[in-house]
Structure 1
Amino acid sequence: MNRDNHYEAAFEAFLRARGVAVVPVVEARRSYLDDEDAKSPDFLVIGPDDARLVVDVKGRKFPGGAADRPRKVWEHWATRSDVTDLARWAARLGPGFRGVLAFVYQVLPTVALPDDTLDLFAHAGRSYLARGVAVEDYAGHMRPRSPRWGTVDIPTDTFRQLVKPFTAFLEAPEESVV
């Protein structure tokens, strides 16, 4: 976690307000996973119903783009290492841990969302919306966005199908039927 990143600070406050166990991961140094370096997750989260999450926060503005030409698109790109390293951390931490990409949108004042929008919250005078996508779902649909920058994304229609209010990930994990 980067304490100077307002998206991550807002997300931590969002989780704490829900009584969730939160461990912010300090990114001052590169982490190592087994013998290879790996991008650190931003948070380890234990939900009230024993959900175990490894979370990487992707902060975005909505609408994005320039002030004179706003783009009303819910940006959902990531870097390839965001996705692959998050999946590696979840697997390494053991059974029950899930990797989640948390898309934390700063909703600009020009946008009015209904007050009852799930996971819409205020922090430090700004409005935010917390959404999540399971990293294994994202990885299964990702495609290159910019090979030069190592970014990936998923088709917008697929994102709409996979994205959930973040609190949905805090619920008890579904039991597998044998």
Structure 2
Amino acid sequence: MKDVGTGLENYLNTEKHMTSCDLFVLQLANGTKYYYTNADTNVVYGGNTYRHDQLLIKRQQVKLNATVVVDTMTITVYADGAVNLGSKGIKIAAHDGTLDRTKMLVYRAFFDSDNAILGVMGIFGGSVEVKKCGGLTLELTVKAQTQGLSQEFPRRKYYPQGAYSTTNGKVTSSNANTDSCLIAPFVPLKEVLL
């Protein structure tokens, strides 16, 4: 469930024709943030100016669920060579790894009849991966923070810190720790079940 203020909640429950836009925050691994919008003009929110004139951004539809799910969003960015992230072009940044470990947050801003922001609702966020880049198009995949929830993890298994081995079905362990010892899950005969 999304958290919105009462003013925005009343607006969403009563208004039939809404004016809204998306706000995108791109945060590089070094902490630098870039603010973009898909509106027709710049949007000022939270002390930041979301630029409309640098990138044309299109995102896929978002599905809201009442349960925790693992989800991804595809964001397509259209930009020419003049758009920079820092000192280099955005496409060069996509190819040389600058966009590695990048975070993307997507918000939805709602406006009243005077084009003043009534409220902003967070709709998606996660880690960015470059899907493809060429021509005028940069396609990004944003993976939700819950992406690790899709991995199965064995229950009631214990992996000790010391070295051990198995002989004739019996576990032999050592009191000494070694730096070269690797204990990995799902390796046959290397698990201890409690």
Query: Which has the larger helix fraction?
Result: 1
Rg larger for? 2
Instruction: Assess same fold via TM > 0.5.
Output: no
Using the size of structure 1 for normalisation, the TM-score is 0.27
Higher RCO (CA 8 Å, separation ≥ 6 residues): 1
Query: Which has the larger strand fraction?
Result: 2
Using the size of structure 2 for normalisation, the TM-score is 0.25
